């Protein structure tokens, strides 16, 4: 097959067809086009690069009975999009996020995103795994930023795909600042955050009329200080903890010390939206032992809303049951 159009405009088509193992030839400007090449190809993909000089190509394809399909030019490169991938399943990625992936030349991704579908979502893009596991950082944050910026400077349209929302414990702010400093245009595509959606997957609303009119999202990456624990306990709303399994004992102890009720309901929702979703429910004084076998990724919910979720038809069990059925 033959792909016509300037190298920049045609780059996405060339990559996509090569990734599909097609035998691809390219002609990047009308002056380099020889009709004889049409004797050797079955298909011409004409990328609209805006050059009026391609008009005779259409005629030549007709004469040589070669199939011609037209394709839009790839979006301009030298751009970075931080895309929120949502809590896991590809259908919880936004339409805008899908658009950004479709146009990407390079995708930097982590392990918590809809990775299984990435090859379809970003056809032909170069996929680079910069995934981190807690406490283990294969590629440092500075290195990721440097690689993204270098790639965009080479003329690529870069997507940095993140779990959930880029601005919720996703270092999105730092990456935007790094792009701005490097003079690379950057856009941020929001994502469905696990902080709200994962409790929801287990049937737990983070707010509920007359029960909780506020929720606080906390990182459990490092233990909270005593004043922070006191403020948190004093707020009276729902507490949602991400990355909180490792520090759960410190958090629960601290909240008890700060005066939160021992029988305050607590839920740990692991691997939300996956076939292995599991919800463990207990109270503040017993959750550490009840959740001793729990692991990240998990969202911890502390507050009366956990009981609301249960009362409203024991939905967490129903949700987990649905997940188990999907699994079997």
How far apart (Å, rounded) are the C-alpha atoms in residues 72 and 157? 16
Cβ distance to ligand SAH smaller for residue 159 or 168? 168
Contacts 24+ apart (CB under 8 A), 317-321: 317/279, 318/203, 319/201, 319/202, 319/203, 319/277, 319/279, 320/202, 320/277, 320/278, 320/279
Interaction of residue 202 with ligand SAH, rule CB under 6 A: no
Verify whether residue 117 is a known catalytic residue: no
Interaction of residue 194 with ligand SAH, rule CB under 6 A: yes
Burial annotation 209-231 (CB, 10 A radius, 16+ → b, else e): eeebeebbbbebeeebeeeebbe
Stretch that binds ligand SAH, among 99-107, 189-197, 249-257, 258-266 (CB under 6 A): 189-197
324: which 2 tokens? 């188990």
Of 327, 293, 306, the C-alpha closest to 200 is 306
Of residues 106 through 135, those in contact with ligand SAH by CB under 6 A are: 112
Q: Which residues pair with 128 in a beta bridge?
A: 108
Stretch that binds ligand SAH, among 6-14, 140-148, 151-159, 162-170 (CB under 6 A): 162-170
Stretch that binds ligand SAH, among 19-27, 67-75, 159-167, 304-312 (CB under 6 A): 159-167
Verify whether residue 283 is a known catalytic residue: no
Is residue 250 a contact partner of residue 274, using CB atoms and an 8 Å limit? no
Interaction of residue 170 with ligand SAH, rule CB under 6 A: yes
Catalytic residue among 110, 148, 162, 165: 110
Binder among 97, 114, 164, 303 for ligand SAH (CB under 6 A): 164
How far apart (Å, rounded) are the C-alpha atoms in residues 269 and 299? 5
Cβ distance to ligand SAH smaller for residue 48 or 167? 167
265: which 2 tokens? 């309901």
Verify whether residue 243 is a known catalytic residue: yes
Q: Closest separation between CB of residue 189 and ligand SAH, Å?
A: 13
Of residues 241 through 280, those in contact with ligand SAH by CB under 6 A are: 242-243, 269, 271-273
Binding mask 297-316 for ligand SAH (x = CB under 6 A): xxx-----------------
Interaction of residue 169 with ligand SAH, rule CB under 6 A: yes
Interaction of residue 26 with ligand SAH, rule CB under 6 A: no
Question: Do the strands 298-302 and 265-270 form a parallel or antiparallel pair, or are they unpaired?
Answer: antiparallel
Return the SS3 of 86.
Answer: strand
**Residue with token string 């896991």:** 88
Binder among 44, 168, 186, 294 for ligand SAH (CB under 6 A): 168
Binder among 5, 114, 124, 163 for ligand SAH (CB under 6 A): 163
DSSP assignments along 142-185, one per residue: HHHHHHHHHHHHTT-EEEEEESB-TTSSS-HHHHHHHHHHHT--
* Catalytic residue ranges: 110, 132, 243
Q: Which residues bind ligand SAH (CB under 6 A)?
A: 87-88, 112, 162-165, 168-170, 193-195, 198, 242-243, 269, 271-273, 296-299
């Amino acid at each position: 097959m033959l792909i016509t159009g300037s190298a920049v405009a045609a780059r996405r088509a060339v990559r996509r067809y090569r990734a599909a193992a097609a035998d691809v030839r390219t002609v990047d400007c009308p002056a380099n086009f020889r009709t004889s090449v049409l004797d050797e190809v079955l298909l011409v993909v004409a990328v609209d690069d805006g050059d009026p000089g391609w008009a005779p190509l259409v005629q030549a394809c007709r004469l040589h009975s070669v199939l011609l399909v037209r394709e839009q030019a790839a979006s301009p490169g030298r751009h970075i999009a931080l895309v929120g991938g949502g809590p896991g399943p590809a259908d919880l990625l936004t339409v805008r996020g899908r658009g950004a992936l479709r146009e990407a030349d390079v995708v930097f991704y982590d392990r918590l995103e809809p990775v299984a579908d990435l090859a379809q979502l970003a056809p032909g893009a170069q996929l680079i795994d910069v995934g981190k596991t807690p406490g283990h950082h294969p590629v440092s944050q500075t290195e990721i930023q440097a690689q993204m910026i270098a790639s965009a400077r080479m003329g690529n349209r870069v997507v940095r795909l993140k779990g959930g929302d880029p601005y919720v414990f996703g270092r999105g702010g730092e990456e935007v600042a790094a792009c701005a400093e490097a003079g690379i245009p950057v856009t941020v595509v929001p994502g469905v955050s696990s902080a709200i959606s994962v409790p929801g997957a287990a049937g737990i609303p983070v707010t509920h009329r007359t029960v909780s009119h506020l929720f606080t999202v906390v990182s459990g990456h490092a233990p909270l200080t005593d004043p922070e624990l006191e403020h948190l306990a004093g707020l009276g709303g729902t507490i949602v903890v991400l990355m909180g399994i490792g520090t759960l004992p410190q958090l629960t102890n601290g909240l008890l010390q700060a005066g939160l009720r021992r029988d305050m309901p607590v839920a740990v929702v692991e691997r939300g939206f996956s076939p292995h979703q599991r919800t463990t429910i207990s109270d503040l004084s017993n959750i550490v032992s009840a959740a001793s076998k729990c692991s990240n990724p998990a969202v911890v919910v502390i507050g009366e809303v956990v009981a609301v979720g249960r009362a409203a038809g024991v939905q967490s069990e129903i949700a987990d049951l649905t997940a188990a059925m999907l699994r079997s």
